[in-house]
Amino acid sequence: MNVPHQPYLDLLEAVLNGKITPPEFSTQFIDRYREDQLSYGRAVGLLLDELMALTDAYCEDPNLRGDLDIDENQFLLEARELLPRLQSAQAINWA
């Protein structure tokens, strides 16, 4: 079932399935998130905000990683936990 936030689901599934790397996910997600003009409703909007915060916390370079930053393993772990929540939000009204 295609939903308005399907591009985000596709990106998340791609990084979790190893089709793209976390840095590639980060770039593509941030570009899409910044340009997105759709309204998804509260439930999906909050999950996308959570995914944005997760993406923002991810830092590929261990030399640049601060106390609040996360590495690739933590990013993938948290993204894997977020995916079913975003998938289940499909049944919610997006208006």
Output DSSP code: residue 78.
H
- CATH number assigned to the domain covering 6-90: 1.20.120.650
> Is residue 37 scored above 90 in pLDDT?
no
Please report the pLDDT score of residue 89 as a whole number. 84
> Is residue 95 scored above 50 in pLDDT?
no
Cβ-count burial 11-35 (b if 16+ within 10 Å, e if not): bbeebbeeebebeebbebbeeeeee
Q: What is the mean pLDDT of residues 5-11?
A: 94
Q: What is the mean pLDDT of residues 2-9?
A: 87
State pTM to two decimals. 0.86
> Is residue 91 scored above 90 in pLDDT?
no
* Domains of the chain by residue range: 6-90
Q: Is the dihedral of CA 20, 30, 32, 8 positive or negative?
A: positive
Please report the pLDDT score of residue 54 as a whole number. 97
